[in-house]
Each structure stands twice: as structure tokens, then as C-alpha cells.
Structure 1
Amino acid sequence: MKRSKLIQHLTKNGCVLLREGSRHAIWKNPSNGELTAVPRHSEIKDLMAHKICKDLKIQLP
């Protein structure tokens, strides 16, 4: 999955970007306070995308 598609999915589900690091970006779901790291690769494997959504407790893409 393209990173841009995952970012669109996260923002559509109400998640916000907390900060950008050199290798990861930290995203937060304000409704439940959950945090997760999103790698800064152009392609993110589907299993990783599912884990990110599961960590933030949002629906899977």
C-alpha cells in the first residue's frame, strides 16, 4: 500500500499527526488516545498497514 493512501485513510478516520521523525511519523487517535508509528517508506506492507490501524483502533483499509 502506498504511504499516501494510508495517510489519507488515517486522516479520514480522525487521526492526527503528532510529529515527524527521521524514520517514522507518530500518529494519534484523539478519540481514544492511542498512538502508533508510521514508517516513512513510500510502500508500506499490508500487514504493517493493518497493524497501524489496529493500534489506532480504526477500521482496516
Structure 2
Amino acid sequence: MKTSEMIKLLKKAGCKKIRDGGNHEIWYSPITNKQFPVWRHGKEIPTGTAEKIKKEAGV
């Protein structure tokens, strides 16, 4: 999954970007009430990493 696809999925789920980190963006999920990092490299996110982000976001 590409970073842009992940961001669209997160926005659709109601997640909000809180701030920019070094190579990552920090996002917040109102579903799980957690903050989590998302790659900002513009490349493919590894499958395991994408699944972890989805789990933390509650999608």
C-alpha cells in the first residue's frame, strides 16, 4: 500500500494528522484514542507496517 492510499484510508476513518515528525507524520485515531506514526516517504509501505498502522487506527 502506498503512503497516499494509507492517508486516504485514515482520513476516511476519521483520523487526524497531529504533527510532522522526521520522516513520519504523527496521526491520532478517535476510534482507538491512540497516536501512531505513518511513513511519509511516498513509497510502498511494507505489508506488516501497513497492517500495524491499520490496527492502531482501528480500521
Shorter-chain-normalised TM-score: which range? 0.7 to 0.9
Higher relative contact order at CA 8 Å, sep ≥6: structure 1 or structure 2? 2
Question: Which blocks of at least 5 consecutive residues in structure 1 are unaligned?
Answer: none
SS of 2:22's partner is: coil
Aligned length: 58
> Which structure 1 residue ranges, 4+ long, deviate > 3 Å from structure 2?
none
Matched with 2:49 is 48
- The TM-score with structure 2 as length reference comes to 0.85
- The TM-score with structure 1 as length reference comes to 0.82
Q: Aligned partners of 1:11, 1:45: CA distance in 2, in Å? A: 20
Percent identity between matched residues is 40
